[in-house]
């Protein structure tokens, strides 16, 4: 499985030409089908039909369904990486102590909205459902997405502390606590209830307020 993850680097299988439009169409189609029906129920013939390419093209571009599934799962982590970069930028722009709490509140609101969004929840359900079949892939998704976001927040808190703008003795622990207090209960509930709607503005405000009541990242 480690080899499977390493191979999902954007390259086509050995000896085969990379076809960007075909790959993009295949990934889009596979993503929708995997999320809707799961890994086992989604065959390469259905993916090929949905992508309007031949089944052989799917194999030429990805080798097999396992590698295509890995490409879909790890491709989703690009969104988490972009989100993490945006969060880092928000905290980096803080220059005065009185700006810290508003910036953190805004960050946490966006964080909760992203994690509890239907698309992210669907991906998490899919990864968890297939974790037994793809344990290394599940671990890599966790490293690149939820764990990476917590790490980015921790780094932002550490930077605020280093600049004397906030008192955060243990940034990694504080970031982890914020994550669990902010979305833990709602995330757990939503994972078991696929029909859970995305949180509205009032719910997001309540989640952020509760997180600040429980975890005071300003020390």
Better pLDDT: 210 or 90: 210
pLDDT at position 1 = 47
The CB density around residue 27, as the number of other CB atoms within 10 Å, is 18
Q: Is residue 110 part of a domain?
A: yes
Q: Is residue 116 part of a domain?
A: yes
Q: Is residue 153 part of a domain?
A: yes
The answer on pLDDT for 4 being more than 90 is: no
Q: Is residue 54 part of a domain?
A: yes
Least confident of 16-25, 43-52, 92-101, 172-181: 16-25
CB of 137 closer than 8 Å to CB of 129: no
Q: Is residue 219 part of a domain?
A: no
Residue pLDDT, tens place only, 166-190:
989 999 999 999 999 999 999 999 9
Considering its fold, how many domains does the chain have in total? 1
Give the DSSP letter string of 208-219.
HHHHHHH--TT-
Which domain covers residue 177, as residue numbers?
2-214
CATH of the domain at 48: 1.10.357.10
Q: Is residue 91 part of a domain?
A: yes
Residue pLDDT, tens place only, 36-64:
999 999 999 999 999 999 999 999 999 99
Q: Is residue 89 part of a domain?
A: yes
Q: Is residue 115 part of a domain?
A: yes
Which strand (E) or helix (H) includes residue 97?
A: none
Chain center to CA of 188? 16
């Amino acid at each position: 499985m480690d080899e499977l993850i390493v191979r999902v680097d954007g390259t086509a299988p050995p000896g085969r030409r990379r076809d960007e439009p075909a790959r993009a169409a295949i990934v889009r189609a596979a993503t929708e089908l995997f999320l809707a029906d799961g890994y086992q129920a989604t065959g390469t013939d259905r993916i090929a039909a949905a992508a309007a390419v031949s089944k052989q093209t799917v194999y030429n571009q990805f080798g097999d369904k396992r590698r295509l599934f890995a490409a879909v799962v790890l491709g989703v982590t690009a969104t988490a990486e972009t989100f993490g970069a945006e969060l880092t930028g928000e905290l980096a722009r803080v220059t005065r102590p009185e700006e810290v709490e508003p910036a953190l509140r805004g960050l946490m609101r966006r964080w909760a909205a992203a994690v509890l969004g239907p698309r992210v929840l669907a991906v998490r359900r899919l990864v968890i459902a297939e974790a037994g079949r793809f344990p290394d892939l599940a671990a890599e998704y966790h490293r690149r997405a939820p764990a990476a976001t917590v790490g980015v927040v921790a780094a932002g808190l550490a930077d605020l502390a280093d600049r004397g703008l906030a008192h955060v003795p243990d940034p990694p622990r504080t970031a982890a606590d914020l994550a669990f207090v902010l979305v833990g209960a709602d995330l757990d509930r939503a994972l078991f209830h696929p029909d859970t709607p995305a949180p509205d503005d009032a719910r997001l405000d309540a989640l952020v307020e509760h997180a600040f009541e429980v975890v005071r990242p300003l020390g």
